Amino acid sequence: MPVEVQIPSLLRKATGGEKQLQIDGGTVAKVMENLTAKYPALKDSLLTPEGKVQSFVVLCLNNEDTRFLQGTNTLTTDGDVVSILLAVGGGSTAYCGEE
C-alpha cells in the first residue's frame, strides 16, 4: 500500500530533488525502512544506528503527530500522507497539521 512521503527541503538532495515520493508501507516504521532502503543517503539523517527515529525528526501521518498515535507502529493505508519534519535549533519545535 503506497503512501505519499513529503520530504523537507533540507533532505531533498538525497532524493534527487523530489518533494514527494510514493513508498510502500503498512506501518510508519515500514515506510521509513522502505524509504531509507530506496534512498540510503537519508538513513543517517532520519534514523539512529538502531533504526529508531532520530530525536530531532517528527513524523506526521495525515497531519497528526505519530508520537501521539502508536509511534512508528501506527498503521498506514493506501493514500495516506507521511510528512517528515525536522526540528529547528534554538528551541523551535516541529508541528504537524495545518496552521
Angle at 71 between CA 80 and CA 96, to 5 degrees: 60
Q: What is the 3-state secondary structure (H, E, C) of 42-69?
A: HHHHHECCCCCECCCEEEEECCEEHHHC
What does the pLDDT read at residue 72? 93
Per DSSP, 80 falls in state -
Determine phi and psi for 97, rounding to 5 degrees: 110, 175
Q: How many Å apart are CA 21 and CA 8, to the nearest integer?
A: 11
Q: Are strands 57-61 and 20-24 parallel, antiparallel or unpaired?
A: unpaired
CATH number among 1.20.1300.10, 3.90.1170.50, 3.40.50.880, 3.10.20.30, domain 2-86: 3.10.20.30
Predicted confidence at residue 92, as pLDDT, reads 53
pLDDT score recorded for residue 99: 47
The pLDDT score that the predictor gives to residue 93 is: 58
Query: Across-strand partners of 23?
Result: 3
Count other Cβ atoms within 10 Å, centred on residue 1. Answer: 14
Measured distance CA(7)–CA(94) in Å, rounded = 14
pLDDT less than 50: residues of the chain: 99
Domains of the chain, by residue range, sit at: 2-86
pLDDT tens by residue, 48-58:
999 899 999 99
